[in-house]
Amino acid sequence: MVDLYQHRARKRFGQNFLQDMNIIDRIMQAIHPLRTDHLLEIGPGRGALTQELLKEARQLDVIELDQDLIPLLNLRFGLNPAFHLHQGDALKFNFAEISLGNPLRVVGNLPYNISTPLIFHLLGYADVIKDMHFMLQKEVVERMAAEPGTGDWGRLTIMVQYFCQVEHLFNVPPACFTPSPKVDSAIVRLTPYRILPFPAKDHKLLELVVREAFNQRRKTLRNTLKQILPIETIEQTGINASLRPEQLMLADFVKLADKLYDYKQSYKES
């Protein structure tokens, strides 16, 4: 058996390998994979979770960026017909190409340095994803699950909660990894909505409104959104332009995005 533990974690890939079997068991209980599931693991690393997933999976695709891990993973799991390895960058991966009509169940111990852009990339494939279970920096999970009016409520929160139900499942201390990170981690479950609670007319405009609103989060909407929406247009939604962005609900941001959509349409027609 190949010794994957000979592979040293690389800082540039943000590698912290999970090694605690109790935590791995808890993750497996949270995922509760079925034989009919199409599983996809991002960043298998040394394969600690991969090994457990393959005990249940009929099909497991894994995406690994580190080329040095590819031959080691193939040696360890390549003879298993359920195992399909893709060498590449998950940030550029087309998840729709491998779903083949069977929604993906995505899992991963995500590198902290790419977790937020990767989450945004995955949200673009929400229609082919059944659920996602990720190990992330605890602070990131807290931001995803945040409530309006709190300091954690922001762009990541709103866009994730627009597409998904968010569940902060449990925390994971640094000692469960090698090398140990300097921060606590947490497991989060993201379940894409089949029917969006607050569908926007154009979710790209929602992204724009949220990004602009939180670029200077201490300022009021009249200041942060003035480049894209006149104050009187904001107030036509019934939202006070003197509020700061963290004081708004998700539904409020959708109202603003829809008003921007209408504003742009009327501008085109005039």
pLDDT, tens only, 26-41: 999 999 999 999 999 9
Assess contact for 207 and 159: CB atoms under 8 A. yes
| Dihedral of alpha carbons 63, 68, 73, 75, sign | positive
pLDDT on residue 217 = 86
Token pair of 172, please?
Answer: 């994971």
pLDDT on residue 269 = 63
Token pair of 106, please?
Answer: 């995505």
Instruction: Please give the Cα distance from 46 to 49 (Å, whole number).
Output: 8
| Mean pLDDT, the chain, whole residue set | 91
Ranges assigned E (strand) in 91-184? 104-109, 129-137, 164-172, 177-178
From the CB of residue 213, how many other CB atoms can be counted at a distance below 10 Å? 27
Q: Give all domains of the chain, ordered by start, each with its CATH number.
A: 4-192 (3.40.50.150), 203-269 (1.10.8.100)
Instruction: Please give the Cα distance from 255 to 234 (Å, whole number).
Output: 9
Threshold 0.75, pTM exceeds: yes
Confidence of residue 186 (pLDDT cuts 50, 70, 90): very high
pLDDT, tens only, 99-158: 988 999 999 998 888 899 999 999 999 999 999 999 999 999 999 999 999 999 999 999
Interior/surface letters 86-105, b for 16+ CB within 10 angstroms, e for the rest: eeeebeebebeebbeeeebb
Closest CA to 65 of 89, 101, 35: 89
Looking only at Cα atoms, what is the longest distance across the chain?
Answer: 70
